């Protein structure tokens, strides 16, 4: 294909992406160095916003909470995703049914799933999970006002939402593992656990890396599900970075657009660093295809 044809075909998409993604992004970077309100030009304040963000205890708390939840959720997703995918790999006839049921939680708006989740544990609404814990002899859990139970609730909801995705990607990877490889391991006397740890997992590590990356990216910017699940997020210390940006830069009366933008820029830098290995993969592929 000639370069001229390429650009002709790519132009519409390019125009839309530059106009509606690149231009706003540049505006965000510009705002991060300014003291600014909606609809008015800002004044340059240098690195003040970044200093403010990095010295703000509330931001520190939000960043810590977001990172802890991200690490725990990603770990659970990988382990549980692998186990469920291995199980799914054995199913034949019932697979479409099981897949269909599991996929619903992924395809549904995150917010709606979180509302349904919150009803399970809200004592005011006769939360059945609390009744169940009570039956098992447990004491009352303050799901919405106690930091750790609330974090567990958020992690459970995120796992519920994202497990189908992790499982499907890992399942795709498992199907690429040659049957001969497993048989060879069995003949060599490997136990099933050893086969998983030393044969299958190393074979699909690319896929596992990919699930890790997407999971980290998506959990780092969690926002929707916290609205119903953590109404008092800021007071109990369970605010996510995005919720913090929202509350300083957009919620009613909040106009610290510069500060919000600075946090966005910091998040972007973090994400870019994580993307480096993935970018190298794409460039390698381009080199091979040449």
Partner 1 sequence: MTLNIEALSTRAITTGDIEGKGPRRRDGHKKPVITGILLGILCVLWMTPFVWMALSVTKPTDIAFANPPVYWDYEPTLKAFVDLWETTYFSEYLVNTLVVAVISTILALIIGIPAAYALSRFPSYVSAILLVLALVFRALPRFAVVLPMYDISRALGIYDTTFALALALVAINQPFTIWLLRNFFAEIPRELDEAAMIDGCTRIGMLRRVMIPLMGPGILTAGIFVFLFAFQEYLTALVLTDTSSKTVPVFIATQLGQTLPMLQQAGAASILLTIPVILIAFIAQKYLVAGLSDGAVKG
Choice from 77, 249, 256, 259 touching partner 1 (CB under 8 A) = 249
Interacting positions 85-104 with partner 1 (CB under 8 A): 87-92, 94-96, 98-104
Taking alpha carbons only, the member of 228, 10, 24 closest to residue 119 is 228
84: contact with partner 1 by CB under 8 A: yes
Identify whether the C-beta of residue 144 lies closer than 8 Å to the C-beta of residue 122: yes
- Cα distances from 229 to residues 67, 111, 156, 243, in angstroms, run 18, 9, 11, 12
82 binds partner 1 (CB under 8 A): no
Nearer to partner 1, 89 or 147 (CB): 89
Q: Using the rule CB under 8 A, is 213 a contact of partner 1?
A: yes
Nearest to 239 by CA among 228, 230, 248: 230
Quick one: which segment of 71-79, 145-153, 191-199, 243-251 binds partner 1 (CB under 8 A)? 243-251
Q: Which long-range contacts (CB under 8 A, 24 or more apart) does 169-173 make?
A: 169/81, 169/207, 169/210, 169/211, 169/214, 170/81, 170/82, 170/85, 170/204, 170/207, 170/208, 170/211, 171/85, 171/88, 171/89, 172/207, 173/85, 173/204, 173/206, 173/207, 173/208
For partner 1, the binding residues in 116-145 under the rule CB under 8 A are: 116-117, 119-120, 123-128, 131
By CB under 8 A, is residue 42 in contact with partner 1? Answer: no
Contact flag: residue 217 with partner 1 (CB under 8 A): yes
Least distance (Å) between residue 51 CB and partner 1: 20
Stretch of residues binding partner 1 (CB under 8 A), selected from 52-60, 137-145, 191-199, 221-229: 221-229
Of residues 50 through 79, those in contact with partner 1 by CB under 8 A are none
Determine if 212 is a binding residue for partner 1 (CB under 8 A). yes
């Amino acid at each position: 294909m000639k370069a001229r044809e390429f650009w002709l075909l790519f132009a519409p998409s390019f125009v839309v992406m530059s106009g509606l993604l690149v231009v706003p992004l540049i505006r965000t970077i510009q705002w991060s160095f300014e003291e600014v309100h909606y609809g008015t030009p800002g004044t340059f304040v240098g690195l003040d916003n970044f200093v403010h963000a990095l010295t703000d205890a509330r931001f520190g708390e939000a960043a810590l909470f977001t990172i802890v939840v991200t690490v725990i959720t990603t770990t659970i997703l990988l382990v549980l995703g692998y186990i469920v995918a291995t199980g799914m790999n054995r199913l034949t006839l019932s697979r479409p049914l099981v897949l269909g049921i599991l996929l619903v939680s992924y395809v549904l708006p995150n917010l709606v799933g979180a509302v349904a989740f919150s009803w399970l544990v809200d004592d005011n609404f006769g939360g059945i999970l609390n009744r169940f814990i009570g039956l098992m002899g447990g004491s009352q859990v303050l799901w919405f006002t106690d930091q750790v139970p609330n974090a567990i609730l958020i992690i459970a909801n995120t796992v519920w939402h994202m497990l189908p995705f992790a499982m499907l990607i890992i399942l795709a990877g498992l199907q690429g593992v040659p049957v001969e490889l497993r048989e060879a391991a069995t003949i060599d006397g490997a136990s099933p656990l050893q086969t998983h740890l030393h044969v299958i997992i190393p074979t699909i590590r690319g896929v596992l890396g990919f699930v890790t990356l997407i999971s980290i990216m998506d959990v780092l910017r969690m926002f929707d599900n916290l609205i119903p699940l953590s109404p008092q997020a800021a007071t109990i210390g369970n605010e996510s970075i995005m919720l913090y940006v929202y509350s300083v830069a957009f919620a009613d009366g909040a106009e610290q657009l510069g500060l919000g933008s600075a946090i966005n820029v910091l998040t972007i830098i973090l994400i870019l660093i994580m993307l480096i290995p993935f970018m190298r993969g794409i460039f390698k592929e381009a080199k091979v295809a040449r």
